Chains A and B, each alone.
Chain A
Amino acid sequence: MIKEGKKLIWQDYQKEIAGDHFFYVRSCIRQTFFPGSEWAFIKILKEFLHKDLYENPAHTTCTGIGYHTDVVPFDTTMTVAARQFALMTEAGYENLIPSCITSFGLYTEILETWREFPEVEARVREFLWKATRREFKKPKNLAHASDVIFKFRNQIAAQAKYRLVNKLTGEPLRVVEHIGCHYAKMFPSKGVGGAEYPYVLTGMVESWGGQVIDYPERRHCCGFGFRQYLVQANRGFSIACSKKKFDSMEPYKPDMIITNCPGCPMFLDRWQYVIGEMEGKTYGPDGHGIPVFTYEEVAGLLLGLDPWRLGLQVHQVSCESVLDKIGIEYDPDEKYKSLDGKDLGRPEVPSVLKV
């Protein structure tokens, strides 16, 4: 598709994103997958953009994984969401910012369900009251955390120490952007740019100096798909999806992948190791993989945060190639040290994928 056409579609799919006073809800899985990402988001919003952001430790999982695997019934899920809304109301906030795409999709689904069926909302209010004696106001603005970074992408670019540009050649880095399916595929009007041509990550990459790669399977799912992965025998379907994407992007020689969902960076990163072990195939240059980042990690790196504080050492595909290309300073000896300087040990080296 020609770029002008995309821009027209992007114009049609604009959403309102609150500018301040955020009630931030964490993801239950990102903490372990990419531990520095949420830390970076809060730091960027508070210290670089000087925004008011509040999170309540009583916040729980949204139940999204249980809901999408048919373990948790929708009524339970809606009541859990209602409790999160109640925590937000009690704290005096109206703008809900989930860190997770699954949560964002789920809250959107719940609010849309209540809009269509007010009697369901009334029922859930009653459930919540009976269970917890809480009441709530619905969020005035619901945006994903990547929407917020997207909104402030130019301010971030203005404060950035680095750009997504190859220091040696002066060329923009070639970036694959991958959007979580639940960002806009369920409710296209709730995502920046809609389902077909979401602009949320593209906008960041363009503002930060990179070049987005268009490749045939760009909108294909990463393969997480909840049940595809959670049942071991089904994991072949999951990895097949990621492999299809890698096979499709490989000829375009991407320098890196940027994602906005907990599952996508996890699977696009870890499956590169598994494909290497199972089929001997790797996708980056010289047996290395294609480094995969969350958008907060990329924003944090460009703003000059320490790569190891951002948690890049827990990535399966090593990220140093991208750090070197951009010219980011880092101390290799610090890679496997904890915050208080203790040695964390070394992970086992894969037999195929070079790290």
Chain B
Amino acid sequence: MKNFGFYIQPDSQIDFDNNNRNLAALVSQREPSFDWCIGCGTCTATCTAGNFTGFNFRKVALLVHRGENEQALQEVEKCMLCGKCNLACPRGVNTRNVVASIQKIFSRYQNLVY
């Protein structure tokens, strides 16, 4: 295959008929403050794991809301659950519990990933 100096960007359109949004509902049930997130990224800026791995809580929140669960699962495995982001969040989102909930839900319902 030839290299032209660029690659074909994958389509980022969200098809809500195909994406599984059950995870977002389950996370909100377990940790209602998940719904308060405004996507400001303060959590991400303070994250120690993010300093070393590119982990990004805001991105996780976005992926979960979009129902892009497979990517979300790959991401949350990088969190070390230190809870620093909890202190920084201006909306009082219990970010640490959101991450923990996603991990727990995934371990229980494998079929959320496809």
Give residues in A with beta carbon < 8 Å to B. 232-237, 239-240, 243-244, 274-275, 277-280, 351
Contacts and interface: CB of A to CB of B under 8 A. Distances in A.
B1 A278 contact: yes
B7 to A, nearest CB: 5
Contact of B1 (A233, A237, A279): A279
B11 interface: yes
Nearest to A281: B8
Nearest to B3: A278
A278 B9 contact: no
Contacts, number: 37
A259 B90 CA distance: 51
Give chain B's interface secondary structure class: loop
A236 B2 contact: no
Size bin of chain B's contact surface: 10 to 19
Contact of A278 (B7, B10, B11, B13): B7
A236 B1 contact: no
Contacts of B7: 236, 278
Contact of A240 (B1, B4, B10): B10
A277 B2 contact: yes
Contacts of A244: 11, 13
A278 B8 CA distance: 8
A235 B4 CA distance: 9
Contact of A237 (B4, B5, B9, B13): B9
B6 interface: yes
Interface in B26-77: none
A236 B11 contact: no
Contacts of A279: 1, 8
Given A233-B5, A240-B8, 16 more contacts: A232-B5, A232-B6, A235-B4, A236-B9, A237-B9, A239-B6, A240-B11, A244-B11, A274-B4, A275-B8, A277-B4, A278-B2, A278-B4, A278-B7, A279-B1, A351-B2
B1 A235 contact: no
B108 to A, nearest CB: 35
A214 B103 CA distance: 44
A331 to B, nearest CB: 33
18 contacts: A232-B6, A234-B6, A235-B5, A236-B6, A236-B8, A236-B9, A239-B8, A239-B9, A240-B9, A243-B8, A244-B13, A277-B1, A277-B2, A277-B4, A278-B4, A278-B8, A279-B1, A351-B2
